[in-house]
Structure 1
């Protein structure tokens, strides 16, 4: 008989529900079903998006009311034994009863690339003769074979004749492995006799796009310099010249655009693609040089990621006859390994990479310089982190009636300007919604390499008027000849179009040019990065899905009832704001010694989150800068210990960035996009006015085992890349489905709008958990997260039923003032069967607004109008009409009769005075 896991994989619950005769709810996209045991106005059985799990929210606690296909059969059919339900599924779906082999008996079927790789590795030593003929050393060949990235293919097609395409034959096999897992992704074949294979010289089996070849990926971890070449033969040639080099192979010029080069950050990259001659007429690409033009584009890509990149100077690559040498392997064959080692370390000295200052260069130029610029261009010479200037040419007599001109080289700047590019930064609306951008901002991004920062480029965003401000450039390093430097910048302005790009100033999941992308700090172009975003230099933690499961399991076990997992899910789900349109804040409650501080530190480490101390949140501007331009969560410690003025401003900002809000500050009107979800930690978090926009968890009394010290970081980068595959319509449809489930499980009534909103907040977190389970490959029922979440939701709704109404806060203050004898307006107590407070609501508002000692409370109130205050009390049913009474010998009319018994239901207790009883 098949296992439960096999049945779960084969049976779709929607199909099973139809076979069981369950009635589906009406409405497009409604994935819920009516209960088969009682009449329900709205569907109460929900099936998750995977179609593998169900839950009956109207039968909490009933056996088999949630779970897999087996549980559904037992629940609906009323079966008591699991084998009986499994037999029913076997018969219904025609699944054979023969037991399948255990997963560990036969190995999983290998991919075509893996199968070919195994065959090639078995005959790997046969490749030596061919590679020796290409001047590759034995040491390099042996090292690649040990790394299992080099082999030999001898397969010949039995169906295709020799000389035809697809025949095959002997070939050097370069095995392409994943950079992280070392899994085989592809095998590149280089045929020894291309004519036997129909003239096809190279062939690739497996993935091609966005995948690189490296002889040994382990070298990348310790390498400070990385070479990039076109072919594997060229890579082995460089390794022959320098056995300790790290060389990456493009495997096709198209991969320049397809590879995510961010993994090369903090590496010095040397680009050495083929030195192709231009195509000749009548070729459609006449005048173009494929290798050099791809190298230019690669430099632009790397520079935009703040990665230092230099081009190898191939102008002097000539053979003994003066003919141009095309690639690295040809150079090795002509001049040997020692000269090749020196040649690949000679970089182009030109100010604009790929644009020689010499006339007569063949092919299309990278950028056009007018004659007045080109006449000055040759004077500027660069090194990786330094710039020189030819100030003049000295003439000397060589003694044979000839004159030798010698350049006089002066120091120009203590850094190299790698690029000056125009950047169009999307507006806040386009960033958060993906709508067409009607208000982009245009800046100029300057990337500079300095000695103190090594291979990492330093970027600064400048306005038009800042480009020629030498004082601004001197922040990078010394500028010794300001006039020549200004002339250099004037020439570089011609290159603004070369690296022109669109960007989004947002760290997290955002839209760029209408596409959902993962934006890190290096992808942003802030004019004042330290002020505009707390994560302006953020690189999200990376790792494997297995590490994600490890982190989830550790957080789930360290506190009981998923009290610690809830903040983790909330933190990671915050990046759904661009798709969902909102995200609640979170409050962590705990008593002293409950482990809150330790837990928060582990959460910070796990996802790279920042907790701001209360000391750093003393002003409105500091609060604003801590939540700007990111969907990655931030934390505020002990907000309740701040001044009431700071608390009021903080709460006001949290109200705004529940969705997102744009504000501008300063004389330059610097833009701030308030968006970050905030984690509020403390024993008494002042959030009464935020109850509709916050969720909570309580750690008190739930302490479990400590998390291990070697717990890996959660792969946030991989999680965000998973989310980019979602669409807004898909997420919103799923949210509506999950919200319906949460409302069924909620104690909120349909008339309590505040409670309904709170349920919607918890539904968003539950949806994040479901997506997280899909990403990590775990069961959504693991650890009963949903049950604990709904329990916390209902407890939160029940305990804050009174606090959600602003009129309750106002009446609480008014009763305190009356009890203290500070209320000077006329009021009276009515005794009897229905005791009441006789008072005007307008007098209450006037008293609070005019009392100096209540000024901070007044400023923090969301309701300041007597009309709204009275309306809320009427809706709550605590006002039993109006009356007129004599108070202190004066007749007072239009007094509201406020029932003391009804006030008690909202947690408000009055202290009647016998002196004012009427």
Structure 2
């Protein structure tokens, strides 16, 4: 099919509205249309074409959030999926279907594919059974349309009827991957379990770590999501037709700890596990309740991810005989849809999720509360984003019943209070056993202003009972009672207690590599400590990786842009290699530098800091702390020299990683972010051994498409987390040898060896990226272009790699200017023109000249002995020390420097004959 942008460009929305039969109100060309979804007395649907604010599209004003493109309008009219709507537009407007650029290889069908195909083809046969369980036709239709509901009647020829594994007619629930919508599992629910050996359900394919929903698109749009155990319960909730809600089945309580719930961020989650009775006395799990305990685990995991979650109160889940009802489908089947809808809107009111405070508790309590705490616990009651306190009880004189009188306590709800052990910098970066973790307390609350997004603050031990800290969340009307509540919540510090790493990117935690995002960290001052303290990495299908890489290879020739992309993504390998080079992005005016940087920002959530935001050492420091996700510094050369010197010093330190502490509270900063230095003249002379570069001048190609997807950074990091560190180090050593073999520099040039090692790291990142994206690493000649850039960099910086060259450049300039006051002389020794001078005088002159103070501060070499040793290694010195008469004074211990050799390093001086 044609891509979405092409359809938007070719199809006129007003013409489409006519074709769809939308009725238009009075008013001429500016008239609105009647909604196709429901009857309305007055027109409510607007169509915008090149509107200054809304662009081109449509919007239904009678429904919140309903609008979009031509595809969305067809979907609204006919209730189609996106692909079906696109097909309808192609056929209606005779737009030819695009041929795929590269025909995809046909994947051979697996056993699971055959099962899924058979289930889909016979799906109507499941309707009668599901309706018999109370499921509505609308919920069934939605599942059949999304191909997540089917039917299977397979029976075994090897197993006799009545035994486990025989099979029989069953409703099938097809589990689809949320990104690709490919079938990854099929769950069977047998009509007659007796025929299958009394086993009610059976699963094929993947079960661990993935759940079921009737339609992933519906779940993504939903504002409220109900989590249940099984698919039949999810359909039961869908049958309630709750506005802006969706259901999600975890397919067994074991998945409560395995599923990645990141897709629920920003949504209000309602947990409704099975209402299991406690195991009886004598059972090895006596007193335990699997369903509620799974709900507790879900609550803790979601809260740790800053996802608002509450648990449905199942106290009143009883049938007409007063017996407990087990799950949502049983409620629907026995009491009807109205009763289920009512029950789903009643949440536990207790301060501690899952900890009942009255006589209705069943089984073992979640938390042990001493008698003096339990005597006060029942007085605290919560709602989604509010906390109340029972100040007194009123008694009805006629009936004798006591009624609690609720008083306002706080304008927010404390969702959790957990103890967090944050790993030290060494353990985070190396994976070594942690010898000095820091203990904090993570407080997570829900406030009205943030809706379903929880707010988290990290408190030190002495801040836990400081009401001024708590009042930052919202109002506290009864401070004394609030302090008592916090005192009770201290008993739950072990619930949800976790080990964490304050590092955004690929990090080590408990000796294992993990993908750590901003919300996974526990910074005491996140805004100051890390530039990505709230970053969630871009996520998407792995197939998008190859599209992005190829687009970057095309937009600039010789892989100039893709080198920057590979360097940026490879920065997360610092925790595997122990280092990562910085990068200089150099380009002349109008070469496309700013355009490339903006595309990088969009592609991987990269941040480029302007020069104005880097005016102090503290701002420089906070821009590179606690992350391996790269950052950029714009036009550093335009800053003051003292700022440049401080910046270069920090870059020297975070080539690997360095820990520093600042402020009265000694807040820790882990300097580690790789930095991209962009500009026309990047001052990195002393950093040559720690940088790679890419040059854009003269390499501009076509612009990248506007609809280019973002790179799936999260999936890339998960791929890296699965690598073995020893294998990575061994592969790096192999590529380093390869780069050294292809290097122009001589074997004795240690600076060149280090530079080759830096380019080898980028090449290693490319090899793994190609593997991740399913590409051939030879595609686009990336390796060859990188080696060309490396050799060009080596040859152009041969002089700059040696600090003695910088020193001689300065002193020769001083001699030419007549500012060098120490004795020196031009002479000829053995037919070679030389400069006779003392190395100690050179260093003294630079050290004590006020106008050279900044240069002296930036020099890595400051002693005459080291300076002279470097001159000897460069074979600049001719013979031994000599003695000469200079301006009537006899001067000894002069060093003869060959002017011819200095010239080879680009150094020259005007020879004075006087």
Could you tell me the TM-score, scaled by structure 1's length?
0.87
Matches within 5 A, 1:651-690: 651-690=648-687
Name the Cα RMSD after superposition: 1.3
Matches within 5 A, 1:249-328: 249-328=249-328
Structure 1 position 642 matched with structure 2 position 639:
yes
Alpha carbons of 1:602 and 1:115: their partners in 2 closer, same or farther (altered >3 Å)?
Answer: same
Aligned to 2:361: 361
Structure 1 position 596 matched with structure 2 position 593:
yes
Matches within 5 A, 1:681-700: 681-700=678-697
CA displacement at 1:143 relative to structure 2: 1.7
Matches within 5 A, 1:424-435: 424-435=421-432
Give a deviation string over 1:274-302, Cα, whole Å, max 9, x none: 01000012211111000000100110000
Distance in 1 between the 2:375 and 2:185 partners?
A: 49
Distance in 1 between the 2:881 and 2:441 partners?
A: 67
Distance in 2 between the 1:237 and 1:375 partners?
A: 39
CA displacement at 1:108 relative to structure 2: 3.3
Alpha carbons of 1:530 and 1:104: their partners in 2 closer, same or farther (altered >3 Å)?
Answer: closer
Aligned to 1:568: 565
| Aligned pair partner of 1:745 in 726, 742, 747 | 742
Distance in 2 between the 1:567 and 1:132 partners?
A: 57
Contact 1:882 1:896 in 2 (8 A): yes
Contact 1:583 1:761 in 2 (8 A): yes
Give a deviation string over 1:110-167, Cα, whole Å, max 9, x none: 1222211111122211112211221111221122111111111111112221112211
| Aligned pair partner of 2:407 in 410, 415, 418 | 410
Matches within 5 A, 1:799-810: 799-810=796-807
Aligned to 1:757: 754
Distance in 1 between the 2:477 and 2:907 partners?
A: 74
CA displacement at 1:667 relative to structure 2: 1.3
Aligned to 1:348: 348
Distance in 2 between the 1:107 and 1:714 partners?
A: 25
Distance in 2 between the 1:500 and 1:747 partners?
A: 55
Structure 1, unaligned runs of 5 or more: 1-102
Structure 1 position 220 matched with structure 2 position 187:
no
SS of match in other structure, 2:287 = coil
Distance in 1 between the 2:361 and 2:375 partners?
A: 16
Distance in 2 between the 1:173 and 1:785 partners?
A: 48
Aligned to 1:378: 378
Distance in 2 between the 1:518 and 1:689 partners?
A: 33
Structure 1 position 528 matched with structure 2 position 525:
yes
Structure 1 position 722 matched with structure 2 position 719:
yes
Matches within 5 A, 1:125-140: 125-140=124-139
Contact 2:315 2:360 in 1 (8 A): no
- Greater CA deviation, 156-165 or 770-779? 156-165
Distance in 2 between the 1:791 and 1:360 partners?
A: 75
Distance in 2 between the 1:222 and 1:198 partners?
A: 41
CA displacement at 1:709 relative to structure 2: 1.3
Aligned to 2:113: 114
Give a deviation string over 1:624-682, Cα, whole Å, max 9, x none: 10001100000000001111111111111111111111111111111111111000001
Contact 1:179 1:217 in 2 (8 A): yes
Give a deviation string over 1:692-720, Cα, whole Å, max 9, x none: 00001111111111111111111101111
SS of match in other structure, 1:161 = coil
Aligned to 2:504: 507
Structure 1 position 559 matched with structure 2 position 530:
no
SS of match in other structure, 1:135 = coil
Distance in 2 between the 1:135 and 1:545 partners?
A: 40
Aligned to 2:890: 891
CA displacement at 1:914 relative to structure 2: 1.8
Aligned to 2:840: 842
SS of match in other structure, 2:626 = coil
Contact 2:554 2:701 in 1 (8 A): yes
SS of match in other structure, 2:393 = strand
CA displacement at 1:546 relative to structure 2: 2.1
Aligned to 1:585: 582
Distance in 2 between the 1:404 and 1:132 partners?
A: 43
SS of match in other structure, 2:799 = coil
Distance in 1 between the 2:820 and 2:504 partners?
A: 51
SS of match in other structure, 1:813 = helix
Give a deviation string over 1:885-908, Cα, whole Å, max 9, x none: 111211111111111111101111
CA displacement at 1:404 relative to structure 2: 3.7
Matches within 5 A, 1:748-897: 748-831=745-828, 833-880=831-878, 881-897=880-896
Contact 1:140 1:243 in 2 (8 A): no
Matches within 5 A, 1:197-236: 197-236=196-235
| Aligned pair partner of 1:707 in 699, 704, 709 | 704
Distance in 1 between the 2:779 and 2:105 partners?
A: 29
Alpha carbons of 1:658 and 1:104: their partners in 2 closer, same or farther (altered >3 Å)?
Answer: closer
- Greater CA deviation, 878-887 or 787-796? 878-887
Give a deviation string over 1:244-297, Cα, whole Å, max 9, x none: 531000111110111111111111100000010000122111110000001001
Aligned to 2:95: none
Matches within 5 A, 1:158-173: 158-173=157-172
Structure 2, unaligned runs of 5 or more: 1-101
Matches within 5 A, 1:469-548: 469-548=466-545
Aligned to 1:99: none
Aligned to 1:149: 148
SS of match in other structure, 2:253 = coil
Distance in 2 between the 1:104 and 1:282 partners?
A: 63
Distance in 1 between the 2:723 and 2:881 partners?
A: 57
Distance in 2 between the 1:346 and 1:456 partners?
A: 20
